[in-house]
Structures are given as C-alpha cells and as structure tokens.
C-alpha cells in the first residue's frame, strides 16, 4: 500500500481550486430563450437587483440598479445608477462600440484599458479589468436572456486567476420602456 503525502494533496487541491476559480461563469440558457443582442435589449430604461458575494468570507452586498441606455447605430451608451443596501450610491457609464456584428469594444470610468464583449451562441460575454481601491481586478461576465424577457448577468471577479467574488444580477425592462 502506497501512501500519498498531504503536501501532494494540497498541491492538487490548489491546482483544482485555481482552475475552478479562473473559469468564466456558466449562464444556463433555456432552449426557448432568444439570443441576446445588446443594442436591442438596452435602449430605454432597464432596472435590476443584484448581489456581490465575497468568495472568501461569503459576505454579500446587495444592490439595485437603474440603467438608461441609448443606441446611436454604432455606440451603446449605458448610464448605470447603483443604490447599495448599505446606502452608498454610484454612477458608471459604459460606452460600447460595435466593431463587427456581435463584437464590441468599450470603456467605463473605472475600467483599465478596453473592455471587450462578443456574442457566443445565445449569450454575450464581457471581459474587463476594474480599478477598485488601488487594486485591479478582472471581471468575466456572461449575459443571457430568459424566456420571460428578463436578462441574467453572472460574473466572476478575480485577481491573478483566483476568484475573489461573484456577481449575480437580474435585469428587466422598466414599465413603459
């Protein structure tokens, strides 16, 4: 009978953890769900509720968001007004330029470099780096429409390939939009 050292198990566990944490989120898409086209979903007002979950502590930070979107034929502008459960408010503005059908390049005030978004089947993937409190963290979002017309956005937040958090956000068109 051979014995395996605890350090070997620790190393294997670390590699498995790093691989799992670095993976982009899955977005379960019902077969009845239509493909997501950003410039069709976002013009007008969209509202949503979300939560950020810290991967290490399990603590959560809930928020509401109102997004006012405009499409000019080339650039999708999204003005996001966040209201966090702890009372903090924040505004961010995305400018996503369509560079080819289903492919976008974008910027936001806190984004380091360029964000990139692309259509992959029925979902849109969005990757970008954000400067938060002196740190740069990487976001990997997957956005998908539900059959009821709502949009689900699942994101992983990472640093050096290690997941530090995740975001789940459900959006819907505001009444009258």
| Structure confidence by residue, pLDDT tens digits, 93-140 | 999 999 999 999 999 999 999 999 999 999 999 999 999 888 899 999
pLDDT, residue 29, reads 52
Percentage of the chain lying above the pLDDT 70 cut? 81
Please, what's the b/e burial string for 31-62 (b: 16 or more CB within 10 A of its CB; e: otherwise)?
A: eebeebebbebbbeebbbebebeeeeeeeeee
Q: Which range among 8-12, 72-76, 131-135 has the greatest average pLDDT?
A: 72-76
Domain ranges within the chain, ordered by starting residue? 6-173
Q: Is the pLDDT of residue 7 over 90?
A: no
What residues have CB less than 8 Å from 139, skipping those under 6 apart?
126, 127, 128, 129, 130, 155, 156, 157, 167
Q: Is the pLDDT of residue 11 over 60?
A: no
Cα–Cα distances in Å, from 81 out to 18, 35, 93, 121, 174? 33, 26, 9, 29, 14
Q: Is the pLDDT of residue 1 over 80?
A: no
Helix (H) or strand (E) segment spanning residue 6: helix 6-22
Give the CATH H-level superfamily of domain 6-173: Calycin beta-barrel core domain (2.40.128.20)
pLDDT, residue 9, reads 34
pLDDT digits (tens, 9 = 90+) for 140-176: 999 999 999 999 999 999 999 899 999 999 999 998 8
Q: Is the pLDDT of residue 23 over 80?
A: no
- The model's pTM is 0.81
Local structure of residue 101 (DSSP, 8 states): T
pLDDT range class, residue 16, cuts 50, 70, 90: very low
pLDDT, residue 4, reads 44
């Amino acid at each position: 009978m051979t014995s395996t050292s605890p350090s070997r198990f620790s190393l294997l566990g670390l590699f498995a953890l790093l691989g799992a944490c670095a993976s982009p989120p899955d977005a379960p898409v019902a077969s009845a769900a239509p493909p997501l086209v950003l410039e069709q979903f976002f013009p007008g007002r969209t509202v949503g509720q979300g939560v950020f979950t810290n991967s290490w502590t399990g603590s959560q930070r809930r928020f509401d968001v109102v997004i006012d979107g405009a499409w000019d034929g080339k650039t999708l502008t999204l003005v996001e007004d966040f209201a966090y459960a702890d009372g903090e408010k924040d505004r961010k503005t995305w400018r996503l330029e369509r560079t080819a059908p289903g492919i976008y390049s974008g910027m936001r005030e806190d984004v380091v470099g360029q964000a990139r978004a692309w259509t992959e089947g029925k979902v849109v993937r969005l990757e970008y780096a954000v400067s938060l409190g002196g740190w740069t963290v990487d976001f990997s979002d997957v956005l998908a429409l539900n059959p009821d017309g709502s949009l689900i956005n699942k994101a992983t937040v990472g640093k050096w390939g290690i997941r530090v958090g995740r975001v789940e956000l459900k959006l819907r068109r505001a009444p009258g939009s």
